[in-house]
Amino acid sequence: MKKNLKKKFLIANWKMSKNYRDSLSYIQTLEKHYKDDIISANDNNITISIAPSFPFLESVCKHSNNVKTAAQDCAKYDSGSFTGEVSASMIRSIGAHYVILGHSERRKYFLETDDIIAEKLMRAILNDLIPILCCGESLKMRKSGNHLDYVANQIDYTIKSLIKKLENEPSIDDFITKDSSTHDNEKQNFKTFFSSFSEQNNFKWKQHILNFFKNLIIAYEPIWAIGANKIPTTKEIEDMHGGIKKCLKNIMDALNVRTFVDKNSSKFDNKIFHNKRGNGLIMNNLSLDIGEIPVIYGGNLNSSNASSILRCNNVDGGLVGRASLNVKDFVSILRSF
């Protein structure tokens, strides 16, 4: 591996694979590779993360000394009567660092919309989880020639929806299940968070958004290629990743120029950045290099194609699915940086 000062990520998404014994064996083997492979990865500023199934997440966390851990999803609620759901606060409490949100399989099989994903993003940032936001286009969209705009709009809408939800200053009670008796911790979390919306505490609100952009990871999934077991060309990957980074810059530019407006004013430019009182939430003087936001690739990445894909312009790492199930294959991908 060549010395690389730019931040890179390699994330293993096991999906619904591996039992308890397999999960522990994998992480223990991967940790043994740390001395030979991951120290070099650290020299290259590469962060490695494993996303096991929920039942084994805590055990993998406990056996991960150098490798970060991620959840494959989280609920859009923090607690309550939601059978089968796992909240961001639960995930953070066991030591996980990241959460994958908006994966193409969640969108397809569980009908998750951009609005639902925005709710989950909010839960993640409230609980200090780093979100890995997935995006991608279908074969129909790719053939239409509007794929770049489609993915940009997907990201733009989700992030602006997140900000709009925060700006609307909803009641704490709107986010708490009425029939649950165990809300004290959640209420305190929201009291702390929503107090930052007052004008005198606006700096705190800006810090939440700044931290969101500082920690955000975007994962591009070419759904049209995954479904057909194809690999996009390096040009197709570079074009899409470049388009995503341009989209992120546009969003940040819009935030950077926000200023307070008179509450009686009826004319707003870009209303999505105004709350119900008509006060623009000021984000000027927000300092962040958009190039720092990683955009990783996540479609049929394996040890055979990793070298060419991971060295593409604007590609800051990989989200590895099937090829991450074998630890030797995963380490081989790591060596491709």
Q: Just list the catalytic residues.
A: 103
CA dist 119 and 145 (Å) reads 30
CA dist 311 and 315 (Å) reads 7
How large is the C-alpha radius of gyration of the chain? Answer: 20
Per DSSP, which regions of the chain are E strands?
A: 8-13, 46-51, 68-71, 98-101, 130-135, 217-220, 295-297, 317-320
Sign of CA dihedral 89, 90, 94, 96: negative
Which residues lie across from 47 on neighbouring strands? 9
The token duo for 26 is 């994998």
What is the per-residue DSSP string for 72-112? S---SSSSSS-TT---HHHHHHTT--EEEES-HHHHHHS--
Which residues lie across from 51 on neighbouring strands? 13
The rounded Cα 314 to chain-centroid distance in angstroms is 17
Question: Any idea what DSSP says for residue 195?
Answer: G
CA dist 102 and 38 (Å) reads 28
The token duo for 246 is 């341009």
